[in-house]
């Protein structure tokens, strides 16, 4: 009896004294923001928080989820990749053009992934071995990829391949008559793989080490070159995969697709709690960041009276807020 009563207060004290590690606080803040947005939305609009509306956030943002995964790897090392939007557009053009010429969809998809991965590899090699700033190197890649789009075609290229279109429209029914597309499941699979790589592999741990201090990582004998090149290869691959998903979503290839999408990806990663200086962040946070951006668009759609430009205004305010929060968290640790 005495032991039991003595144990209860100690357990309560432990619960009260528990606080999550600092590295989880930005992700928790993003999750709290997402829950709060849905709470406000459900109070104002009927059906806002319905399961299908939540599922649609994943369906409509599959390409941005995959793009944010690749961007997370790059930003964790302290880099940046401004070319991802242009690589998405190039991927849609390559997919549409090869399908138009009678290529098998799997062969066309392979060509798209090869092109994106090669661009990422070139970025990594130039940045690490030539010492060029990531901003400049990927800015050049952005212009290169966009220019290649216009070389393929100035006009939009429709995708009429029956197998491609069929896969784009296939859905999976979840409990409660909620449906999602296979592309959404593919995007969530990419998130799961990326989270496993960062948490459970030597490559992932080295990514965090390089972002924390590249000089210290080199002194510890870590494979800095392999990781710095590797994260841009991953970003290029994810950009190409996002381009495939975008072409499935739009069923066309167009040179003006995905203009500004690189900024949306960066915003989602930062809102998800990844430090722009590198060394700290989680892929699940980037996923939550994408869902926050999607929720803003859902708010505007349900309201019906707000201009679409409020999406950009809201993203700008949130981005500034989370950058300030990052500064506060880093100061607390120093």
Whether 59 is covered by a domain: the verdict is yes
pLDDT at 4 over 50: no
pLDDT in tens, 69-83: 999 999 999 999 999
Whether 8 is covered by a domain: the verdict is no
What is the number of other CB atoms lying within 10 angstroms of the CB of residue 227? 26
Whether 270 is covered by a domain: the verdict is yes
Residue 331 has a pLDDT of 65
Higher pLDDT, 83 or 321: 83
Work out the mean pLDDT of the chain and round it to a whole number. 88
Higher pLDDT, 310 or 114: 114
d(CA 334, CA 329): 9
Q: What is the residue range of 117's domain?
A: 21-333
pLDDT in tens, 200-233: 999 999 999 999 899 999 999 899 999 999 999 9
Q: Which helix (H) or strand (E) holds 158?
A: strand 157-158
Residue 256 has a pLDDT of 93
The closest of 64, 71, 67, 114 to 94, measured between CA atoms, is 114
Whether 11 is covered by a domain: the verdict is no
Domain count for the chain: 1
Whether 13 is covered by a domain: the verdict is no
d(CA 45, CA 292): 17
In this structure, what token pair is assigned to residue 64? 């941005």
Residue 15 has a pLDDT of 41
Whether 7 is covered by a domain: the verdict is no
The CATH number for 225's domain is: 1.10.3470
> Mean pLDDT throughout 273-280?
88
* Predicted confidence band of residue 329 (pLDDT cuts 50, 70, 90): low
Supply the pTM of this predicted model.
Answer: 0.90
Whether 10 is covered by a domain: the verdict is no
Whether 313 is covered by a domain: the verdict is yes
pLDDT at 19 over 80: no
pLDDT at 239 over 70: yes
Residue 3 has a pLDDT of 47
Higher pLDDT, 124 or 321: 124
d(CA 70, CA 184): 16
pLDDT in tens, 91-150: 999 999 999 999 999 999 999 999 999 999 999 999 999 999 999 999 999 999 999 999
């Amino acid at each position: 009896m005495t032991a039991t009563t003595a144990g209860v207060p100690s357990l309560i004290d432990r619960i009260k004294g528990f606080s999550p590690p600092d590295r989880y606080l930005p992700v928790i803040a993003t999750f709290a923001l997402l829950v709060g947005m849905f709470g406000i939305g459900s109070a104002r609009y009927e059906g806002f928080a319905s399961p299908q509306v939540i599922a649609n956030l994943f369906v409509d943002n599959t390409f941005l989820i995959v793009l944010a995964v690749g961007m997370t790897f790059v930003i964790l090392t302290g880099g940046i990749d401004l070319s991802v939007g242009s690589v998405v557009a190039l991927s849609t053009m390559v997919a549409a053009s090869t399908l138009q010429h009678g290529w098998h969809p799997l062969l066309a998809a392979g060509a798209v992934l090869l092109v994106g991965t090669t661009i990422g590899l070139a970025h990594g090699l130039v940045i690490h071995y030539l010492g060029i700033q990531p901003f400049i190197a990927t800015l050049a890649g952005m212009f290169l990829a966009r220019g290649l789009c216009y070389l393929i075609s100035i006009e939009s290229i429709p995708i009429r391949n029956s197998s491609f279109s069929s896969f784009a429209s296939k859905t999976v029914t979840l409990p409660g008559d909620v449906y999602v597309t296979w592309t959404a499941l593919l995007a969530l699979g990419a998130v799961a793989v990326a989270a496993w790589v960062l948490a459970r592999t030597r490559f992932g741990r080295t990514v965090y080490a390089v972002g924390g201090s590249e000089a210290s990582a080199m002194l510890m004998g870590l494979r800095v070159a392999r990781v710095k090149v590797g994260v841009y290869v991953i970003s290029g691959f994810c950009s190409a995969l996002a381009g495939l998903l975008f072409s499935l979503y739009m069923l066309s290839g167009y040179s003006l697709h995905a203009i500004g999408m690189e900024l949306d990806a960066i915003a989602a990663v930062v809102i998800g709690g990844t430090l722009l200086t590198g060394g700290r962040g989680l892929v699940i946070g980037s996923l939550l960041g994408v869902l926050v951006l999607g929720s803003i668009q859902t708010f505007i759609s349900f309201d019906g009276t707000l201009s679409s430009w409020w999406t950009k205004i809201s993203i700008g305010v949130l981005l500034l807020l989370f950058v300030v929060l990052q500064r506060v968290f880093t100061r607390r640790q120093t």
